[in-house]
Structure 1
Amino acid sequence: MIGIFSKTIDSNLVEAISYSGLDFMIFDQEHGTLDLTTIQNHVRATKMGGMTSVVRVAENNHNKIGSAFDSGADMVQVPNISSVEQAMKAIDAAKFFPNGNRGVCCYVKAANFGTTEKSIYLSNANSKQLILQVEGKGGMNCIDDILALKGFDVLFIGPYDLSQSLGYPGQVDHPKVVKAIEELAKKVKVSGKVLGTFVDSFDKIKVFKNKGFGYIAYSVDLNLFAGICEKIKKEY
């Protein structure tokens, strides 16, 4: 799967991108200004072009994770997982009984505002995918135990926070950062979880795809738009 991060508050832009053929958009609450009303409109917009909607919540918080799924999002991405306990907390918030303790409301957008039969909604909701981000030394040190957990689907390696954790902030191509990513990637692939990451250059898309990464986020919508505008100006 290939997609992009999104920081726009304009759902028309989201809808336009949904027709591009990209597999997903990640609506970023960690480093963005998106509230739940905007998220819900964005999720609705992705459906127009058949694109998967992902919400990266601001933090590993029970209510925020549940609310993101309530919005109708197909997947939720949780940042900064640095321990087994934090991973278990995210899973618990994302799943209904018997897999977790997500808050139950059958009248949200995800349940078509109560028009979906309750048992069907609750059953289908537990098949929604959860993405955990490991992006620091803490997560690296307990990666085997995190990967052994059931209840999440994608292990996302955050290269920029990882570079900072290793003492090389922003240097995602530093040999020690590259080595750390490769070591994490090997363990994720053995576990059977989907391997994910972020890239911000075109050449890295195929490189990481060939390395077995099945969930690749490329750049950010507003940065891509600014870059195209800059290119137009240069061509003038």
Structure 2
Amino acid sequence: MPLQLAPTFRDDLSGSDRPLVGMWVCSGSPLIAEICAGSGLDWLLIDGEHSPIGLESILAQLQAVAGYPVTPLVRAPSGDTVLIKQFLDLGVQNLLVPMVNTREEARHVVSAVRYPPRGVRGVGSALARAARWNRVDDYLGRADEYVSLFVQIETADAVANAAEIASVDGVDGAFVGPSDLAASMGLLGQQEHPDVVAAVESAIRTIVETGKPVGVNAFNPRMAERYLAAGATFVLVGADVALLARSSEALAAEYIPAETDDTPRASY
């Protein structure tokens, strides 16, 4: 009997009557990915852009979370055609591409995820986990059903072009990144500056008007609620490494007495 692949993140969003809530997995650890997969959250973002993650690590994390009711979205480091081919072939069904600033760039990444004649994705399904080594019936003919593509809106230029980007055929949704957006606006590190928040909300409204789902990164619960109220349909509310960093700091603050003088601790 032919194998069936999991529904895509596009399918999850279209079938949900509420916003979908997720978290980053940035550690590169399949074990931590599996722990997060069993949390009850809707989706995980496995980050290949700012994390120590390569193809083998992504594969191991996808395998680790496959048995849980959670959808993995994988962020590529760029829109490079070869990288996208490799990500898709190892079994990434839901792809997020950063720094998409124009309609032309969006069309480029759409082409990278589609087979000829509609795109330029290299054909290697018999060798690839994507098609389960040709155990998925008619994978080549149905590949568009098995892959969802999301692009990141994270510069001032991208916000200005948000409607054109989101409207490209083959773009299934957009994700707004306040951190890089703030940097592009000359407000590095000020994700909650009023001008940045206004730009994020503007992008959300614009993308919603195109009929495409839109997500956003918001670790601050107050900002998450604000962006959800603006129309965001999926949101990231934490990260594995951030949760570990803050929790371990809290343990140290609770159990280790504060320094009583300015003498530095010995370092060995």
Report the TM-score, using the length of structure 1 for normalisation: 0.92
Single out whichever of 88-97 and 36-45 deviates more from structure 2.
Answer: 88-97
What residue number does 1:63 align with?
A: 82
Q: Distance in 2 between matches of 1:169 and 1:226?
A: 22
1:216 aligned onto 2:235: yes
1:46 aligned onto 2:65: yes
The one-letter code matched in structure 2 to 1:125 is A
Match of 2:143 among 125, 144, 149: 125
**Contact map agreement 2:205 2:230 (CA 8 A) in 1:** no
SS in 1 for 2:195: helix
Q: Distance in 2 between matches of 1:215 and 1:208?
A: 10
Q: Distance in 2 between matches of 1:205 and 1:211?
A: 10
Match of 1:181 among 200, 204, 207: 200
Report the TM-score, using the length of structure 2 for normalisation: 0.82
Q: Distance in 1 between matches of 2:42 and 2:118?
A: 27
Q: Could you report, residue by residue, the CA deviation over 1:142-185 in whole angstroms, capped at 9, with x for unpaired residues? A: 22322221101111111011111111111111121111112111
**Contact map agreement 2:25 2:240 (CA 8 A) in 1:** yes
Match of 1:202 among 187, 201, 221: 221
**Contact map agreement 2:201 2:227 (CA 8 A) in 1:** no
**What's the CA shift for 1:98?**
5.0
Q: Distance in 2 between matches of 1:25 and 1:81?
A: 21
Q: Could you report, residue by residue, the CA deviation over 1:111-161 in whole angstroms, capped at 9, with x for unpaired residues? A: 1123223x2x22442122111001112212322322221101111111011
What residue number does 2:134 align with?
A: 114
SS in 1 for 2:190: coil
Q: Could you report, residue by residue, the CA deviation over 1:213-234 in whole angstroms, capped at 9, with x for unpaired residues? A: 1121123211112222233344
Q: Distance in 1 between matches of 2:52 and 2:180?
A: 20
SS in 1 for 2:56: helix
**What's the CA shift for 1:235?**
4.3
Q: Provide the aligned C-alpha RMSD in A.
A: 1.6
Single out whichever of 148-157 and 138-147 deviates more from structure 2.
Answer: 138-147
Match of 2:164 among 145, 149, 167: 145
Give the gaps of 5 or more residues in structure 1.
none
SS in 1 for 2:122: coil
What residue number does 1:23 align with?
A: 42
Matches within 5 A, 1:52-91: 52-91=71-110
Q: Could you report, residue by residue, the CA deviation over 1:40-64 in whole angstroms, capped at 9, with x for unpaired residues? A: 0101111121211111111110111
SS in 2 for 1:5: strand
The one-letter code matched in structure 2 to 1:151 is G
Question: How many equivalent residue pairs?
Answer: 234
1:101 aligned onto 2:120: yes
Q: Distance in 2 between matches of 1:58 and 1:111?
A: 23
**What's the CA shift for 1:187?**
0.9
Q: Distance in 2 between matches of 1:109 and 1:160?
A: 34
The one-letter code matched in structure 1 to 2:204 is A
Match of 2:51 among 26, 32, 38: 32
Q: Distance in 2 between matches of 1:216 and 1:123?
A: 32
